[in-house]
Amino acid sequence: MAAGLGSRKKQRFVIVGVALVVLMGAVLLVLFALGGDSLSLFLNPSAAVEKNMKEGQRFRLGGLVKDGSYTKQADGLTFNFTVTDCEADIPVSYHGILPDLFREGQGVVTDGAFDASGVFIAETVLAKHDENYAAPGTMPENTDGCKHPEERASSGP
């Protein structure tokens, strides 16, 4: 390392130089990362179908748990259910502990990706019991022929 740099100008030059290099590195980093896997979309089932999400492509899936779709596998820890927004249905499989407030007919937000057979393998499942505690805009609106969960008797798992 050279000792004295001599002039103030040179010193400023070096500092600005290093700062620019780091900053450019950061910009590249951001561009690289924002184009890659670290982004995940939040989609409802029909948007997931429409976007034709590929196998292994991570996204968050939000919607209602379809009535009568919930089953538990023999190991007692793997669950299958269907997430619907009343227009499209997506089968979901989850290995883990479901939240207590998970119910058929209630809203869920899951995080995961499709496997080869088109089943959404969820890594996390969040249940939303009360609309007051759901993020606005994350739950499907009422549509004809698909009643809002509160308007029908929900049959719990």
Partner 1 sequence: MIPEIGHFALIVALIVSLMGAVIPHMAIARGDTRLMALAGQFAYSQFLLASVAFGALTYAYVISDFSVLNVAANSHTAKPLLYKVSGVWGNHEGSLMLWVLILSLFSACIALGGKNLPLRFRSRVLAVQSALLVGFLLFVLLTSNPFMRLDPAPFEGNGLNPLLQDPGLAFHPPMLYIGYVGLSVAFSFAVAALMEGEVTPLWARWVRPWTLAAWVFLTAGIALGSWWAYYELGWGGWWFWDPVENASFMPWLAATALLHSSIVVEKRDALKSWTILLAIVAFSFSLLGTFIVRSGVLTSVHAFAVDPERGIFILAFLAVIIGGSLSLFAWRAPKLAPSGIFSLASRESALVLNNILLATFAGVVLVGTLYPLLLEAVNGTQITVGPPFFEFAASVLMSPLIVALGFGPLLAWKRGNISRASQILLPAVIIALVVFWVTIWQDAAGTFMTGFGIALGLWLIISVGMEINKKANFWKHPAGFIGRAKKLPRATWGMSLAHAGLGIILLAITVSEAWTSEALRLMKVGDSENVGGYDFTLEQVTPVAGPNYTAVRARFLVEHNGRFIAKLAPEDRVYSDPPMNTTEAGIYPTFLGDVYAVIGEYAGSDAWSVRLYFKPLISGLWLGAGLMAIGGLISLSDRRQRIGAPAGKKRSKRVLKPKKAGA
Whole-number CA gyration radius for the chain: 24
Asked if 135 interacts with partner 1 (CB under 8 A), we say: yes
HSE (CB half, 13 Å, CA atoms) of 22?
6
Stretches 71-79, 86-94, 113-121, 147-155: which one binds partner 1 (CB under 8 A)? 71-79
Q: How far is CA 19 from CA 1, 11, 15, 31, 140, in A?
A: 18, 12, 6, 18, 47
Tokens for 117, please give them: 């057979």
Q: For residues 8-47, which are near partner 1 according to CB under 8 A? A: 8, 11, 14-15, 18-19, 22-23, 25-26, 29-30, 33-34, 36-43
Residues that bind partner 1 (CB under 8 A): 1-5, 7-8, 11, 14-15, 18-19, 22-23, 25-26, 29-30, 33-34, 36-43, 58, 60, 72, 75-77, 95-101, 129-130, 132-133, 135-138
